[in-house]
Amino acid sequence: MPAPLHPVLKNGVGAFIPQCRRLVFHYCERSGSSRGMIEYLKKDLIQFAKEHPHVEVIVTPRPSKHPVIRGLYLNGKDKVVCVRNMEPTDIAGKVALLKESAGNRMKVFKKPVISTTESVRGIWSPFHAAPHKI
């Protein structure tokens, strides 16, 4: 008999664990592309960090490079977004995008419902249905 599987996480069924664990903000003091980023860091970042205490926020200068936001997730993966020449409102949008995401790759979901449990009424079976009568 094969070894039984471990109990699988169903995020949100009992408790919800937000998947974003860390956001790292890189900016350059001198470059023009970081202007919006620096404004965001001064104006909006602290409020964001207070509202989302489960996310570790790190700010690091990265000279002579475009401003970048890196989101790190609980599955070990990360997402990097370059925010060069963006205004603080747009940057806030990107931050929200990273914060709400999980580490998985963006996938197109073709089905409206994805579930591990069978349907309530059961899948149709030819052995259990009455034969077709004309």
Partner 1 sequence: MAGLLRSPLVLARNTLRASAVRACPPALIRTYRIDVKPTKKTSAAQDNEKAQASTTTQDSKYRIEKPSAAVVAFAHRLGLNQLKDQTLLLRIVTHPSYEKVGIATNERLDYLGAKVLDMFVLEYLHTKYPKMPTKMLQDVVSTYTKSSTLALMAKEFGVEDVARWIRSKPELEHQLAFNTVKASVVRATVGALYVDQGPIKAREFIHAHFLSREFDLVQLLEIEEPKLYLSFLMKRLGRERPVARLMSETGRHSKAPVFIVGVYSGTEKMGEGFGSSLKMAEFRANKDALTKYYLEEQKDFGLPSDVEVQGAVYTPTKVGDTPVVV
Give the E-state strand segments of 12-61 in sequence order. 20-27, 56-61
User: Does an H or E element contain 72, and which?
Assistant: strand 68-73
Site track for partner 1 across 112-131, x = CB under 8 A? ----x---------xxx---
Q: For the window 80-109, what string marks contact with partner 1 as x by the rule CB under 8 A?
A: ------------------------------
Q: Which is nearer to partner 1, 5 or 113 (CB)?
A: 5
Which CB sits closer to partner 1, 87 or 102? Answer: 102
Query: What is d(CA 50, CA 126) in angstroms, rounded to the nearest whole number?
Result: 58
How near is the Cβ of 121 to partner 1 at its closest, in Å?
Answer: 16
What part of residues 9-68 is at the interface with partner 1 (CB under 8 A)? 9-10, 13-15, 17-18, 21-22, 29-30, 53-61, 63-64
In whole angstroms, how far apart are CA 24 and each of 100, 107, 113, 128? 15, 24, 34, 57
Please state, in angstroms and rounded to a whole number, the distance separating the CA atoms of residues 102 and 93: 16
Nearer to partner 1, 1 or 113 (CB): 1
Whether the CB-CB separation of 20 and 75 falls below 8 Å is answered with no
Residue 96's closest CA among 14, 18, 13, 32?
Answer: 18
Q: Give whichever of 11 and 89 is closer to partner 1, judged by the CB atom.
A: 11
User: Where do contacts with partner 1 occur on this chain (CB under 8 A)?
Assistant: 1, 4-10, 13-15, 17-18, 21-22, 29-30, 53-61, 63-64, 74, 116, 126-128
